[in-house]
Amino acid sequence: MSQNKPCPGGPGHVYLVGAGPGDPGLITVRGKQALQKSDVVLYDHLANPELLALAPDRAERIDVGKERGHPKLSQSEIENILIERASRGLTVVRLKGGDPFVFGRGGEEGLTLQKAGIPFTVIPGVTSVTAAPAYAGIPVSHRDTNSRIVIMTGHDDPESLDPATLDALTLGNQTLVILMGVEYFRKLSRKLLSHKMPPDTPVMMVRWGTTASQDTREGTLGTMEEILSSHPIRPPSLIVVGKVAGNQYRLNWQNNRPLFRKRILLTRETGTQDGLSEALTSAGAEVIHCPTIEILPPDNLSEVDKALESLHEYGWIVFLSPNGVRHFMRRLRDAGRDIRALASNRIFVMGPATHKAMSEFGVIPDGQPLESHGNGVLEFFHSQSVQNRKILLIRGDRGDGLIPDGLLSLGARVTTVRCYSNRIPCLPEYLRDRIAMHLEERSLDLLVFYSPSSYENLLSLFPEQADDIRHIPSLAIGPTTQAALLKDGATTVIVPGEPTESAVEETILNHFS
Ligand code: SAH
């Protein structure tokens, strides 16, 4: 655990925040704002890692419900951490699955803070009680079926339920929503049946509702025991008992979200995949961002500076990636110059994304390949007379010799400038743990790679899961990336017709249709 900034005087503040039921889009606006300004986040296993990414990088993230390798923290340990961090003047978010006060021990934490004189704010959340059934197509109330919703935990031993409680639970016009009830359901259903609840009362169990792992079991009070013995279900699951769980009330709205229950890993660097991520999310997918490449300025700027001083000598400047464009143009600006410095050059860009990056600087490229790969570039220059012409090649520090060697063999004089470097980023622990788990469980449905190095870096980040990575279907942005994956032994690789966001989206939709 890192040490945060010291107390500037006075206690800090604790936010008891409902994280929502699992789909990260179901956090509230206020919950998101609290995370964005937090110094410390205490979370448990129901919180989605995409929510943890909302906190500043420097924030301390404490997993209080850790299952992989570490023991869970006790309730009093959690409360002590809340008080200790807040007393240091820090802004602390206690992120709790669903709503903090629906069987979430938020009440206890609030009272403890109150006694300790720590100011706190409650930010309610979307509870799984209504959201998990809703994502499974069940409205927890319907005018025709129920005028009450009873929310209970299954933790109380059903044997200890007294007759008056059983009378109340078996009333007709209500919906029972049972949390933490998987273990006791068999006993409870027998109790309800023996107390004259009709055996044809519909029952639905929802596990990991609203997430890509959502799973359901459907039956009646009379059949559920048998269904569960052949198809068991594990926590976290909730159980809906009542007419609303019946087929005639089912809302099949998930049919409009073709990617629901698909979990997709995007490996592009932070901030460059927002459009795709949004499109996939609105089609129902759960998107996990795992940047496997970090783009930094090159270790040595003298190469690029030297090229900038002699730009007029080059017939063509060839940009192979959007990062090349951005880093080159940034250095030009740092030298106090602008696009007029490129007035005498012809500009070539590889691929639509590089074209877009150049256009954003107000420069309309003079050339681009028919196909966005190394051979496409060479085909283009084959049709130009580049004999003895000087070409400036702008790229990162990773590229191979295909393009420079090919241009040389066409008689051109090539200067290669490495304008940026690719590094493997250091993933935060919470993200690393979660992704390792999904890889091992193979609970990712697709991995998306934008370059051979985005793939190689994922393997370096998760060496123990290399075999899983090869077996999960992948999308490669183009033929070069596809070839790298296949050479390494990736089993299923899909490729969009062209390397654009919309083509990637379409290819993913087709893949899952
Ligand atoms: N405060 C939470 C509930 C905490 S109790 C809320 O408002 O949702 C934990 C129990 O909630 C789990 O054992 C399970 O019964 C239920 N639960 C929480 N999230 C769930 C989900 N996504 N799908 C199904 N059940 C869930």
The CATH number of residue 136's host domain is: 3.30.950.10
pLDDT of residue 67: 61
Torsion of CA 177, 65, 260, 484, to 10 degrees: -170
pLDDT of residue 160: 86
Q: Can you tell me which residue has the tokens 């704002």? A: 33
Identify the bridge partners of residue 323 per DSSP, sorted by sequence position: none
117 and 136 co-located in one domain: no
Handedness of CA 141, 145, 151, 154 (dihedral sign): negative
The pTM of this model reads 0.88
Of 194, 225, 254, the position where a domain reaches its end is 254
- List 44, 63, 433, 445, catalytic entry: 44
- Asked whether 407 and 378 are in contact (CB, 8 A), the reply is yes
pLDDT of residue 9: 59
The tokens for 436 are 């390792």
66 given a catalytic annotation: yes
242 and 164 co-located in one domain: yes
Of 108, 107, 78, nearest in space to 93 by CA? 78
Ligand 1 atom showing the smallest separation from residue 101 Cα: 1
DSSP-based three-state secondary structure for 370? coil
Distance CA 356, CA 492 (A): 30
Of 308, 286, 302, 140, nearest in space to 210 by CA? 286
- Count up the domains in the chain and report the number: 4
Distance in Å, CA 97 to ligand 1 centroid: 7
Distance in Å, CA 98 to ligand 1 centroid: 7
Contacts of 246 (CB under 8 A, 6+ apart): 202
Residue ranges making up the domain that contains 159: 130-254
In this structure, the strands spanning 294-296 and 413-423 are antiparallel
Q: Tell me whether residue 1 is in a domain.
A: no
262 given a catalytic annotation: no
Ligand 1 atom showing the smallest separation from residue 209 Cα: 23
User: What does each C-alpha distance from 71 to 44, 64, 182, 404 come to in angstroms?
Assistant: 12, 9, 23, 55
230 and 275 co-located in one domain: no
Of 126, 152, 177, the position where a domain reaches its end is 126
Identify the bridge partners of residue 413 per DSSP, sorted by sequence position: 390
CA-nearest residue, atom 13 of ligand 1? 180
Distance CA 125, CA 31 (A): 8
Candidates 75, 179, 215: which one to mutate for ligand 1, based on the most atoms within 8 Å of Cβ? 179
Strand ranges (E), 191-307: 202-207, 215-220, 237-241, 263-266, 286-289, 294-296
**CATH label of the domain that carries residue 72:** 3.40.1010.10
180 given a catalytic annotation: yes
Counting DSSP H helices and E strands in the chain, the numbers are 19, 20
Taking only the tens place, the pLDDT of each residue in 232-281 is 999 999 999 999 999 999 999 999 999 999 999 999 876 666 789 999 99
Ligand 1 atom showing the smallest separation from residue 182 Cα: 15
Name the stretches of the chain with pLDDT < 50. Answer: 1-2, 6
437 and 400 co-located in one domain: no
107 and 167 co-located in one domain: no
Of 364, 398, 423, the position where a domain reaches its end is 423
- Asked whether 295 and 304 are in contact (CB, 8 A), the reply is no
pLDDT of residue 5: 55
Angle between helices 302-309 and 322-334 (to 10 degrees): 70
pLDDT of residue 1: 44
User: What does each C-alpha distance from 72 to 11, 69, 440 come to in angstroms?
Assistant: 27, 10, 22
21 and 49 co-located in one domain: yes
pLDDT of residue 69: 56
